[in-house]
Amino acid sequence: MELIFLGTGSGVPSKNRNVSSMALTLLQEQNSIWLFDCGESTQHQILRTSIKPRKINKIFITHMHGDHIYGLPGLLSSRSFQGGEDLLTIYGPQGIKEYVETCLRVSGTHLTYPISFIEIAEGVVFENEQVIVTSKKLDHGIPSYGFRIEEKDKPGELLVGKLKELGIEPGPIYQQIKENDVVKTQEGQVIHRPNFLGPDKKGRVITVFGDTRSTHQFKTFAEGSDVLVHEATFDDSKADLAQQYFHTTTKQAASLAKEAHVKKLVLTHISSRYQKDDFEDLAKQAQEIFPNTELASDFHKVTVNSR
C-alpha cells in the first residue's frame, strides 16, 4: 500500500499546496488506485505522477465542500479520453450523485465507462475478500466523513519444517495445503491446514479523516491505525478559530493519534495562511505530542508496510 498526496491545502489553492486529494495504491487489488477527495486541478496534479486515471476505480468523497469536489467532473471526463472502460464507483455524502450528474449533463459530457454512486452513512461502505472500508460521521459544518480502510488478516506461513518431519517434501502438495482446509496425500495422510500454518499475518489499517473539529469520540475509529491521515488546518495558537470553523489544530490531531495508539500520523489540509517558513514549526508542534508525525506536502508519499 502506498499513499500519494496530490493536494494538501485547505480552502483555496496556494503556490505551495493544491486543494485536497490523496491516492491510495492497492497492489493486492490488481494494482488498482483509490482516490480520496478530488479538489480543483487534481487531474493536473496526477499528470506529475505515475498514476494512470484509468486505474482509478473508486473515489471516496469526505464531504461536499468545493475544495474537495471541484476537480471531480474534469477527472471523470478525462478518464474517458485516457482509455477508461472499467466501472468507477464514487462513495460520498448525499448530493454527490446529483452534483456529478448535473455537471456531466449541462456540459454535454458522455463517459466511455459505467459509473456507480453510493451515498454513504456511517458503517460499512465497501467489503471484499481483501479489505473492508467503514465510514464515520465527523464534526464539521456540513456532513463530513472519515474512512477506515482495513486489510483483512492473511493466513500465516506454511510450516515447512513440520511437513518435512512427516515426510511431506516440497511440491504441488504444498500449494494444495495452502488452499484447502483438509488435504489427503497420495500416501493417505490427512493434513489439516490449521495445524501447519504459522500465526495469521495482521492486515494493515489506514484511517483518513475529512474536515472535522477535534473530539475524543473519534479515538475508537482511529484505534491502532498504521497510518492516520488527519487535517491540521490551523497551528496550535488558533484553537479558537479551529473550533469556530469546524477544523483541527496540529496539536489536537497529534493528541488523537497518541490516544488512539496509531503508528504514524500524517497531517494535511493546511491553511494557505501558512508558507514554507511555517511548515517546520507546524510539524514540530504535533511532534511534541506524537513524535512519529509527518507534515504532508503535495506529492508526498507514505508506504504502508506489512505488519
Name residues whose C-beta falls within 8 Å of residue 81's C-beta, 6 or more positions apart in sequence.
none
Would you please indicate which residues are annotated as catalytic (active-site) residues? 67
DSSP 99-163: HHHHHHHHTT---SS-EEEEE--SEEEEE-SSEEEEEEE--SSS--EEEEEEEPPB---B-HHHH
Name residues whose C-beta falls within 8 Å of residue 136's C-beta, 6 or more positions apart in sequence.
122, 145, 146, 147, 148, 218, 221
Nearest to 286 by CA among 211, 247, 234, 243: 234
For residue 35, give the 3-state DSSP assignment: strand
CB 269 within 8 Å of CB 20: yes
Cα distance between residue 20 and residue 65, in whole Å: 10
Strand pairing of 301-303 and 2-7?
Answer: antiparallel
| Grid coordinates of 218 | 473519534
Cα distance between residue 195 and residue 14, in whole Å: 58
